[in-house]
Structure 1
């Protein structure tokens, strides 16, 4: 996913706040809160609502791909919806207890965003009061913890190869380590300070590949495949290794909300179908199909955890999701090679379209899951 730039200037922050239309006293009526996002504004139709499940309906009226975030105290990401292309409308359903928040649109999917204040009042019954929902959260948290532990192990193997200047070995291990990151990316993204450091792109920095703030997986990917020189890579390897250890630590303490599972499952699929399918993620190595597979697996794991909830509230949907996940994985399997996948650059436009279509077919039924979770019994 495209990551926000780490540091924004005070002036930009002030302008961003000013650009967001805020209507003090404008309280949501109970229906979706409309958000009109443009290239330089973020108009939120209500700035106050009652505690509980809140739905935002985000329409991109600008010319750039945008994102919409809800931030809690300390810029904690409560939830977000990404890859909203011009002309598209997307829903975000999030569970919010009483408190002070900020909404943010991010045109171009970079920066701190065009922010506005958002207040939630009162009390509501927590979604995980339902036994099936509570168990789903517990099962998914266990999955995240296991994947995070494997991320630490495999990243160390990768960074050890980088430090030893074993280029071929490091290339072999790069997509393996990323697999565990990509499976839990929705949770990892909640650690806003770590996410851009570990998985940011060169375009997120003024000097691109020459920028010292360009770090993480993609920095080492650049060194391996483009520079073909690891003489200056040890420090970035250490930063990456330290960073994923912190991710694993936080993953064990971070509490996952029920809607995080549903929104995360949808977000992973959207990321593949709208951004990664273009090859922009692993642009130096072209190991994108490894990421596709991991995103599909991560999405399916979240849905699997929620399956008792889905089967209880809409049995037909569960069977439809099983079928569509199976079809998407079969389409991806066509490009398997050895223990991995063919390079993205080896696929034709027709190949990529078929793959994108198979993943897109999952989008609409997966988007229904958040509504099922939020409506309760």
Structure 2
């Protein structure tokens, strides 16, 4: 399987109601045709970058052909700055793939990342002309991300400890038959989980046991639909056991470095789909509170990614602006069931979250770990 993309691509989110479609937008696509035809460039241990003979500025499609015997990743980089303007991943032997790029004047080269081989950089190609270059970013390496992952994992330890305390209190309420107290304590425990951020994928089966088809949601349904304490006790006990199981297993859990950037977008995408529509609401009417906790999780991820994003993403200020806008709207309407929002408020919320998602979309591509050596 192969993929190709410019870096970073801007992502446009087009929402109709609760349905969100994701489409890649490239600033040069309004032009009727790419400048010139494709040039085939060889990729192998011995021929990296050979064949780039019709180099030009402007938007163009290059064709890279793997003439070697091992799969390869191919980057088009600016010499000196090491910015990546285009990428093809998973290019198998004897296969070709297009690479869409937009290049300004400068010095460029093809970089070949071949299995079991150090990075190989092909001949430098010098371009002149007035065309404006497209989006690009310095590749993020594993060494860039590992300290950030460790920092994030440290915050998760504290977050899960807080979750355990609040879940234990919730379980004690149910075990004592005090369902009024359980209803009051359900939300703080639920928000503690939903503010954790990007670690969900590392939680494995614990994620579903805590906040999937088991755990918080069936407990919420029972608490707000007159279930008996006796019927809710096994659910509360199971939830607390899952949280403590997660806490005990945290030293064995590992957050994938690529998940940090990916989840920054996905957390709020899920909030738009499941919380702002009220789909996840099982009776408590607290979906907007949960969406606010999701936003806290996103903000936590972005703060940790800041050293990587700040030099690579000029629109980071827009991310923070729209994060503040969404926070203000959610704070103003928390504790209000989604069904009770007027149409204007719902449109404002959906629009603001949609805009935030558009600004967050490039984060995953920018923070994806790539080999550079």
Q: Please tell me the TM-score bracket, short chain as reference.
A: 0.5 to 0.7
Q: Which residue of 2 aligns with 1:197?
A: 209
Alignment of 1:131-146 (within 5 A): 131=144, 133-146=145-158
Contact 1:198/1:216 (<8 A) preserved: yes
Aligned-partner Cα distance in 2 for 1:369–1:307: 11
Using the TM superposition, give the Cα deviation of residue 221 of structure 1 relative to its aligned residue in structure 2, in angstroms.
1.0
Contact 1:216/1:236 (<8 A) preserved: yes
Aligned-partner Cα distance in 1 for 2:206–2:177: 25
Q: Which residue of 2 aligns with 1:334?
A: 332
Q: Which residue of 2 aligns with 1:373?
A: 367
Aligned-partner Cα distance in 2 for 1:370–1:290: 26
Aligned-partner Cα distance in 1 for 2:305–2:361: 13
Of 345, 349, 354, the residue aligned with 1:351 is 345
1:187 matched to 2:199? yes
Q: Which residue of 1 aligns with 2:285?
A: 286
Using the TM superposition, give the Cα deviation of residue 144 of structure 1 relative to its aligned residue in structure 2, in angstroms.
1.6
Contact 1:127/1:258 (<8 A) preserved: no
What is the TM-score of this pair, normalised by structure 1? 0.61
Contact 1:145/1:252 (<8 A) preserved: no
Q: Which residue of 2 aligns with 1:175?
A: 187
Aligned-partner Cα distance in 2 for 1:256–1:293: 23
Using the TM superposition, give the Cα deviation of residue 302 of structure 1 relative to its aligned residue in structure 2, in angstroms.
0.5
C-alpha distance 191-241 of structure 1, shift in aligned 2 (>3 A): same
C-alpha distance 187-129 of structure 1, shift in aligned 2 (>3 A): closer
What is the TM-score of this pair, normalised by structure 2? 0.62
Contact 2:197/2:300 (<8 A) preserved: no
Q: Which residue of 1 aligns with 2:4?
A: 31
Using the TM superposition, give the Cα deviation of residue 275 of structure 1 relative to its aligned residue in structure 2, in angstroms.
2.2
Aligned-partner Cα distance in 1 for 2:283–2:211: 14
Contact 2:322/2:356 (<8 A) preserved: yes
Alignment of 1:262-273 (within 5 A): 262-273=261-272
Using the TM superposition, give the Cα deviation of residue 374 of structure 1 relative to its aligned residue in structure 2, in angstroms.
2.5
Aligned-partner Cα distance in 2 for 1:225–1:169: 12
Q: Which residue of 1 aligns with 2:237?
A: 238
Unpaired runs of at least 5, structure 1:
1-26, 33-52, 58-82, 92-117, 202-214
* 1:92-135 deviations in Å (ceiling 9; x for gaps): xxxxxxxxxxxxxxxxxxxxxxxxxx99993589955334x333
Aligned length: 258
Aligned-partner Cα distance in 2 for 1:353–1:317: 24
Contact 1:187/1:251 (<8 A) preserved: no
SS of equivalent to 2:177: coil
Unpaired runs of at least 5, structure 2:
12-17, 26-89, 93-113, 120-138
* 1:145-185 deviations in Å (ceiling 9; x for gaps): 21111111111111111111111111111111011211225
Aligned-partner Cα distance in 1 for 2:354–2:250: 29
C-alpha distance 306-88 of structure 1, shift in aligned 2 (>3 A): closer
Contact 2:261/2:368 (<8 A) preserved: no
Alignment of 1:1-377 (within 5 A): 27-28=1-2, 30-31=3-4, 88-89=22-23, 122-123=115-116, 128-131=141-144, 133-184=145-196, 186-201=198-213, 215-314=214-313, 316-336=314-334, 341-374=335-368
What's the C-alpha RMSD, in Å, of the aligned pairs?
3.2
SS of equivalent to 2:254: coil
SS of equivalent to 1:31: strand
Contact 2:163/2:243 (<8 A) preserved: yes
C-alpha distance 166-141 of structure 1, shift in aligned 2 (>3 A): same
Structure number having the greater helix percentage: 1
